[in-house]
Amino acid sequence: MKINFFKYQGAGNDFILIDHTMSPLKNFDNNLIEQLCHRRFGIGADGLMFVTKHEDYDFEMHYFNADGKLGSMCGNGGRCIVAFAKHLGIIDKETNFLAVDGPHYARISENGDWVDLQMIDVDTITNDGDAFVLNTGSPHYVAFQSDLKDFDVFTNGKNIRYNSTYTEKGINVNFVEDNGDHLFVRTYERGVEDETYACGTGVTAVAMAMAKYKNQIGHINTDIKVLGGDIKIEFDYNGHKFTNVFLCGPAKLVFEGDVA
Protein backbone atom coordinates (compact mmCIF):
# COMPACT_ATOMS: atom_id res chain seq x y z
CA MET A 1 0.00 0.00 0.00
CA LYS A 2 1.42 3.38 -1.04
CA ILE A 3 1.78 5.87 1.86
CA ASN A 4 1.93 9.60 1.08
CA PHE A 5 3.92 11.46 3.76
CA PHE A 6 5.29 14.92 4.56
CA LYS A 7 8.53 15.49 6.45
CA TYR A 8 8.60 18.49 8.83
CA GLN A 9 11.14 19.81 11.32
CA GLY A 10 10.81 22.20 14.24
CA ALA A 11 14.25 23.43 15.38
CA GLY A 12 15.69 20.14 14.14
CA ASN A 13 13.17 17.89 15.94
CA ASP A 14 11.95 16.05 12.84
CA PHE A 15 8.71 14.26 12.09
CA ILE A 16 6.85 12.25 9.45
CA LEU A 17 3.31 13.58 9.00
CA ILE A 18 0.48 11.62 7.46
CA ASP A 19 -2.90 13.04 6.45
CA HIS A 20 -5.49 10.59 7.82
CA THR A 21 -8.48 12.94 7.62
CA MET A 22 -10.37 10.80 5.10
CA SER A 23 -10.80 7.87 7.49
CA PRO A 24 -10.64 7.31 11.26
CA LEU A 25 -7.41 5.92 12.71
CA LYS A 26 -8.58 2.48 13.86
CA ASN A 27 -5.36 0.52 14.04
CA PHE A 28 -1.72 1.17 13.30
CA ASP A 29 1.33 -0.94 12.70
CA ASN A 30 3.91 -0.06 15.37
CA ASN A 31 6.66 -1.96 13.54
CA LEU A 32 5.99 -0.04 10.33
CA ILE A 33 6.08 3.29 12.23
CA GLU A 34 9.44 2.32 13.77
CA GLN A 35 10.76 1.33 10.35
CA LEU A 36 9.61 4.58 8.70
CA CYS A 37 11.35 6.60 11.46
CA HIS A 38 14.58 4.59 11.12
CA ARG A 39 17.45 6.77 9.82
CA ARG A 40 19.05 3.97 7.75
CA PHE A 41 16.15 1.76 6.65
CA GLY A 42 13.36 4.36 6.54
CA ILE A 43 12.60 8.05 5.97
CA GLY A 44 14.24 9.00 9.26
CA ALA A 45 12.52 10.98 12.02
CA ASP A 46 12.22 11.47 15.79
CA GLY A 47 8.51 10.67 15.57
CA LEU A 48 5.50 10.13 13.32
CA MET A 49 2.11 11.83 13.49
CA PHE A 50 -1.28 11.22 11.97
CA VAL A 51 -3.75 14.08 11.61
CA THR A 52 -7.38 12.98 11.81
CA LYS A 53 -10.75 14.76 11.85
CA HIS A 54 -12.48 15.49 15.15
CA GLU A 55 -16.11 16.51 15.70
CA ASP A 56 -15.35 19.24 18.25
CA TYR A 57 -11.90 20.47 17.17
CA ASP A 58 -10.19 21.51 13.93
CA PHE A 59 -8.28 18.21 13.96
CA GLU A 60 -6.74 15.60 16.26
CA MET A 61 -3.00 14.89 16.64
CA HIS A 62 -1.81 11.29 17.13
CA TYR A 63 1.89 11.15 18.04
CA PHE A 64 4.21 8.13 17.95
CA ASN A 65 7.83 8.12 19.05
CA ALA A 66 10.59 6.80 16.76
CA ASP A 67 10.40 3.44 18.61
CA GLY A 68 6.94 3.01 17.06
CA LYS A 69 5.08 3.35 20.38
CA LEU A 70 2.38 5.92 21.20
CA GLY A 71 4.06 8.91 22.82
CA SER A 72 2.88 11.49 25.29
CA MET A 73 2.62 15.14 24.14
CA CYS A 74 5.24 16.37 21.70
CA GLY A 75 5.57 20.16 21.69
CA ASN A 76 7.63 20.54 18.52
CA GLY A 77 5.44 17.89 16.89
CA GLY A 78 2.43 19.97 17.91
CA ARG A 79 3.91 23.03 16.20
CA CYS A 80 4.71 21.01 13.07
CA ILE A 81 1.24 19.45 12.83
CA VAL A 82 -0.27 22.94 13.03
CA ALA A 83 1.91 24.05 10.08
CA PHE A 84 0.87 20.84 8.27
CA ALA A 85 -2.84 21.48 8.93
CA LYS A 86 -2.40 24.96 7.42
CA HIS A 87 -0.61 23.43 4.42
CA LEU A 88 -3.56 21.01 3.98
CA GLY A 89 -6.02 23.93 4.16
CA ILE A 90 -7.73 22.56 7.30
CA ILE A 91 -6.97 25.76 9.24
CA ASP A 92 -5.84 29.33 8.56
CA LYS A 93 -4.07 31.58 11.12
CA GLU A 94 -5.35 30.08 14.38
CA THR A 95 -6.51 26.70 15.55
CA ASN A 96 -7.89 24.68 18.43
CA PHE A 97 -6.94 21.04 18.13
CA LEU A 98 -6.93 17.97 20.33
CA ALA A 99 -3.78 16.10 21.44
CA VAL A 100 -3.13 13.31 23.92
CA ASP A 101 -2.84 15.79 26.84
CA GLY A 102 -6.02 17.70 25.93
CA PRO A 103 -7.00 20.70 23.78
CA HIS A 104 -4.37 23.13 22.42
CA TYR A 105 -4.69 26.60 20.91
CA ALA A 106 -2.06 27.73 18.37
CA ARG A 107 -1.42 30.74 16.11
CA ILE A 108 0.59 30.65 12.90
CA SER A 109 2.73 33.28 11.17
CA GLU A 110 1.66 34.69 7.79
CA ASN A 111 4.08 32.47 5.82
CA GLY A 112 3.11 29.45 7.93
CA ASP A 113 6.56 28.47 9.20
CA TRP A 114 6.50 29.91 12.75
CA VAL A 115 4.00 28.54 15.28
CA ASP A 116 3.13 29.68 18.81
CA LEU A 117 1.60 26.67 20.57
CA GLN A 118 -0.21 26.91 23.90
CA MET A 119 0.89 24.20 26.31
CA ILE A 120 -0.85 22.78 29.39
CA ASP A 121 -0.79 24.63 32.72
CA VAL A 122 1.68 23.18 35.23
CA ASP A 123 1.40 23.37 39.04
CA THR A 124 3.72 20.60 40.23
CA ILE A 125 7.52 20.57 40.20
CA THR A 126 9.36 18.07 42.40
CA ASN A 127 13.06 17.63 43.12
CA ASP A 128 15.30 14.64 42.49
CA GLY A 129 18.51 15.67 44.23
CA ASP A 130 19.52 18.94 42.57
CA ALA A 131 17.37 18.20 39.50
CA PHE A 132 13.74 19.21 38.81
CA VAL A 133 11.03 16.80 37.65
CA LEU A 134 7.79 17.99 36.02
CA ASN A 135 5.22 17.09 33.39
CA THR A 136 4.56 19.57 30.58
CA GLY A 137 2.50 17.06 28.58
CA SER A 138 5.46 14.67 28.69
CA PRO A 139 7.56 13.83 31.76
CA HIS A 140 10.85 15.73 32.10
CA TYR A 141 13.96 15.72 34.26
CA VAL A 142 15.91 19.02 34.27
CA ALA A 143 19.52 19.27 35.49
CA PHE A 144 22.05 22.12 35.43
CA GLN A 145 25.22 21.33 33.50
CA SER A 146 28.30 23.47 32.89
CA ASP A 147 30.36 23.10 29.67
CA LEU A 148 27.23 21.66 28.10
CA LYS A 149 28.62 21.94 24.56
CA ASP A 150 31.19 19.22 25.33
CA PHE A 151 29.03 17.16 27.72
CA ASP A 152 28.14 13.52 26.90
CA VAL A 153 24.34 13.93 26.78
CA PHE A 154 23.72 10.45 25.35
CA THR A 155 25.52 8.48 28.08
CA ASN A 156 24.47 10.67 31.01
CA GLY A 157 20.89 11.10 29.75
CA LYS A 158 20.50 7.38 29.17
CA ASN A 159 21.83 6.57 32.66
CA ILE A 160 19.17 8.82 34.23
CA ARG A 161 16.33 7.63 31.96
CA TYR A 162 17.13 3.98 32.84
CA ASN A 163 17.90 4.40 36.56
CA SER A 164 15.63 2.53 38.99
CA THR A 165 13.36 5.58 39.52
CA TYR A 166 12.51 6.10 35.85
CA THR A 167 13.27 2.89 33.95
CA GLU A 168 9.68 1.57 33.87
CA LYS A 169 7.75 4.64 32.66
CA GLY A 170 10.77 6.47 31.27
CA ILE A 171 11.54 10.18 31.34
CA ASN A 172 13.03 12.77 28.98
CA VAL A 173 16.30 14.16 30.34
CA ASN A 174 17.25 17.83 29.78
CA PHE A 175 20.56 19.46 30.62
CA VAL A 176 20.65 23.24 30.85
CA GLU A 177 23.37 25.89 30.97
CA ASP A 178 22.40 29.45 31.94
CA ASN A 179 24.17 31.84 29.55
CA GLY A 180 22.62 35.03 30.92
CA ASP A 181 20.54 36.30 27.99
CA HIS A 182 19.53 32.75 26.97
CA LEU A 183 19.48 29.16 28.16
CA PHE A 184 21.32 26.45 26.23
CA VAL A 185 19.52 23.09 26.43
CA ARG A 186 20.33 19.57 25.22
CA THR A 187 17.87 16.69 25.61
CA TYR A 188 17.96 12.89 25.69
CA GLU A 189 14.49 11.81 24.52
CA ARG A 190 12.52 8.83 25.74
CA GLY A 191 11.10 6.85 22.81
CA VAL A 192 13.86 8.06 20.51
CA GLU A 193 16.39 6.78 23.08
CA ASP A 194 18.95 9.25 21.83
CA GLU A 195 19.76 12.94 21.96
CA THR A 196 17.51 14.97 19.64
CA TYR A 197 18.21 18.44 18.19
CA ALA A 198 15.30 19.95 20.16
CA CYS A 199 12.47 18.96 22.47
CA GLY A 200 9.50 21.33 22.87
CA THR A 201 7.96 19.94 26.05
CA GLY A 202 11.57 19.70 27.31
CA VAL A 203 12.49 23.37 26.83
CA THR A 204 9.10 24.32 28.31
CA ALA A 205 9.99 22.26 31.40
CA VAL A 206 13.45 23.86 31.56
CA ALA A 207 12.05 27.43 31.41
CA MET A 208 9.60 26.59 34.22
CA ALA A 209 12.24 24.92 36.40
CA MET A 210 14.51 27.94 35.90
CA ALA A 211 11.73 30.41 36.84
CA LYS A 212 11.05 28.42 40.00
CA TYR A 213 14.78 28.20 40.83
CA LYS A 214 15.26 31.96 40.32
CA ASN A 215 11.94 32.75 42.04
CA GLN A 216 10.80 34.84 39.04
CA ILE A 217 7.18 35.93 39.37
CA GLY A 218 5.00 37.54 36.68
CA HIS A 219 5.07 37.27 32.89
CA ILE A 220 8.31 35.49 31.96
CA ASN A 221 9.90 35.31 28.48
CA THR A 222 12.76 32.85 28.01
CA ASP A 223 15.05 32.57 24.97
CA ILE A 224 16.40 29.07 24.49
CA LYS A 225 19.11 27.77 22.18
CA VAL A 226 19.04 24.09 21.23
CA LEU A 227 21.20 22.13 18.79
CA GLY A 228 18.67 22.76 15.99
CA GLY A 229 17.97 26.47 16.50
CA ASP A 230 16.19 29.00 18.70
CA ILE A 231 12.94 28.62 20.64
CA LYS A 232 11.03 31.08 22.82
CA ILE A 233 8.92 30.19 25.86
CA GLU A 234 6.52 32.51 27.62
CA PHE A 235 4.19 32.05 30.58
CA ASP A 236 2.71 33.65 33.67
CA TYR A 237 4.00 32.36 37.02
CA ASN A 238 2.50 33.24 40.40
CA GLY A 239 4.92 31.18 42.48
CA HIS A 240 2.66 28.10 42.39
CA LYS A 241 1.26 27.68 38.91
CA PHE A 242 2.39 28.29 35.32
CA THR A 243 -0.43 29.50 33.05
CA ASN A 244 -0.77 31.00 29.55
CA VAL A 245 2.20 28.87 28.52
CA PHE A 246 3.39 29.29 24.91
CA LEU A 247 6.07 27.34 23.05
CA CYS A 248 7.12 29.45 20.04
CA GLY A 249 9.41 28.45 17.20
CA PRO A 250 9.96 27.35 13.61
CA ALA A 251 7.96 24.56 11.95
CA LYS A 252 9.10 23.87 8.39
CA LEU A 253 8.16 21.52 5.58
CA VAL A 254 11.28 19.66 4.40
CA PHE A 255 9.92 17.40 1.67
CA GLU A 256 6.96 15.31 0.57
CA GLY A 257 7.12 11.74 -0.69
CA ASP A 258 5.55 8.33 -1.11
CA VAL A 259 6.52 5.05 0.44
CA ALA A 260 5.85 2.26 -2.04
Choose one: 16-24, 64-72, 92-100, 205-213; the region binding ligand LBFN2T5F (CB under 6 A).
Answer: 64-72
Whether the Cβ atoms of residue 51 and residue 20 lie closer than 8 Å to each other: yes
250/256 Cα distance (integer angstroms): 18
| Among candidate residues 159, 140, 169, the one with its CA nearest the CA of residue 74 | 140
State yes or no: residue 173 binds ligand LBFN2T5F (CB under 6 A).
Answer: no
Choice from 74, 125, 224, 233 touching ligand LBFN2T5F (CB under 6 A) = 74
State yes or no: residue 138 binds ligand LBFN2T5F (CB under 6 A).
Answer: yes
Between residues 60 and 189, which has the closer beta carbon with respect to ligand LBFN2T5F? 189
State yes or no: residue 250 binds ligand LBFN2T5F (CB under 6 A).
Answer: no
Buried b (16+ CB within 10 A) or exposed e, 66-93: bebeebbbbbbbbbbbbbbbbbeebbee
Whether the Cβ atoms of residue 236 and residue 243 lie closer than 8 Å to each other: yes
State yes or no: residue 199 binds ligand LBFN2T5F (CB under 6 A).
Answer: yes
Choice from 201, 206, 212, 222 touching ligand LBFN2T5F (CB under 6 A) = 201
Buried b (16+ CB within 10 A) or exposed e, 37-48: beeeebbebbbb
Number of residues engaging ligand LBFN2T5F in binding (CB under 6 A): 18
Annotated binding site for substrate: 13, 65, 75-76, 172, 189-190, 200-201
Amino acid of residue 27: N
Identify whether 248 is a catalytic site residue. Answer: no
| Among candidate residues 110, 87, 40, 78, the one with its CA nearest the CA of residue 255 | 87
Tell me, rounded to whole angstroms, the distance of Cα 60 from its chain centroid. 16
Question: Contacts from 150-154 at CB under 8 Å and sequence distance 24+?
Answer: 151/175, 151/186, 153/186, 153/187, 153/188, 153/195, 154/188, 154/194, 154/195
- The active-site residue, picked from 37, 74, 80, 248, is 74
Choice from 189, 211, 224, 233 touching ligand LBFN2T5F (CB under 6 A) = 189
Choice from 50, 51, 75, 81 touching ligand LBFN2T5F (CB under 6 A) = 75
Choice from 76, 95, 135, 222 touching ligand LBFN2T5F (CB under 6 A) = 76
Identify whether 199 is a catalytic site residue. Answer: yes
Interface residue list for ligand LBFN2T5F (CB under 6 A): 13, 46, 65, 71-72, 74-77, 138, 172, 189-191, 199-202
Active site residues: 74, 199
